[in-house]
Structure 1
Amino acid sequence: MAWRKKSGGDQSSACPSNYDAGEGEKVPRGHVPMVTCCGERVLVPVRLLAAPCIVELLDMAGQTYGYSQPGVLRITCDAGHFRRVVDGALERAG
């Protein structure tokens, strides 16, 4: 999994500042790009999209931003929380 800061936008202290990537960067096969509320770009393996914890976060994002978001999916939680959720889902998926 790759954690990257989206270029531009406002940054909060909850977001690490040592990840940098261009928006034109190609997404590896089998991954979905997502952006946390503080602008951190995350590449999530497609196989995790069915994990209940990820489904709940996607549903919360849909309720907040709408279900037809243009561009990269936005997640409503900060980067640290999202990292813990995704890492836990990865462990359970084995």
Structure 2
Amino acid sequence: MAWRKKSGGDQSSAGPSDCYADDGEKVPRGHVPMVTGCGERVLVPVRLLAAPCIAELLDMAAETYGYSQPGVLRITCDAGHFQRVIDDVLERAG
């Protein structure tokens, strides 16, 4: 998982199939960009989205923001809590 600060990315070499987060930074294949409740941007591996605790955070975000939120997925917890959840999921995955 990568934690990134918001910064302008260089899109000059982008091809038509490249995927970019809201701030123009390229998202690596197999990752989903998310924003925590405190505004920290996080790149989460897609394989972690199936974990029950991540799914619960996504359900809470859907209740708060709705299913049609534009742009990057937003989750309601702060960055510290989200990091602990991700660490727990990675530890269980072995």
- The two structures share one fold, judged by TM-score above 0.5: yes
Considering only CA atoms, is the larger Rg found in Structure 1 or Structure 2? 2
Aligned to 2:34: 34
Deviations 1:47-92 (A, max 9, x none): 0000000000000000000011110000000000001101111121
* 8 Å CA contact 1:5, 1:39 repeated in 2: no
What is the aligned-residue identity percentage? 88
TM-score (norm 1): 0.80
Aligned to 2:45: 45
Distance 1:69 1:45 in 2: 20
Matched, 1:66 2:66: yes
* 8 Å CA contact 1:31, 1:45 repeated in 2: yes
Unpaired segments ≥5 residues, structure 2: 9-22
Q: How many residues are matched? A: 80
Where do 4+ consecutive residues of structure 1 move more than 6 Å?
none
Aligned to 2:77: 77
The CA deviation at 1:5 is 2.9
Distance 2:4 2:77 in 1: 15
Distance 2:43 2:90 in 1: 13
Higher strand share: 1
Distance 1:34 1:2 in 2: 11
Opposite residue 51 of structure 1, the aligned amino acid is A
Opposite residue 35 of structure 2, the aligned amino acid is V
Q: The residue matched to 2:77 in structure 1 has which SS?
A: coil
Distance 1:36 1:75 in 2: 5
Supply the RMSD in Å over aligned alpha carbons: 1.0
* 8 Å CA contact 1:48, 1:93 repeated in 2: no
Unpaired segments ≥5 residues, structure 1: 7-20
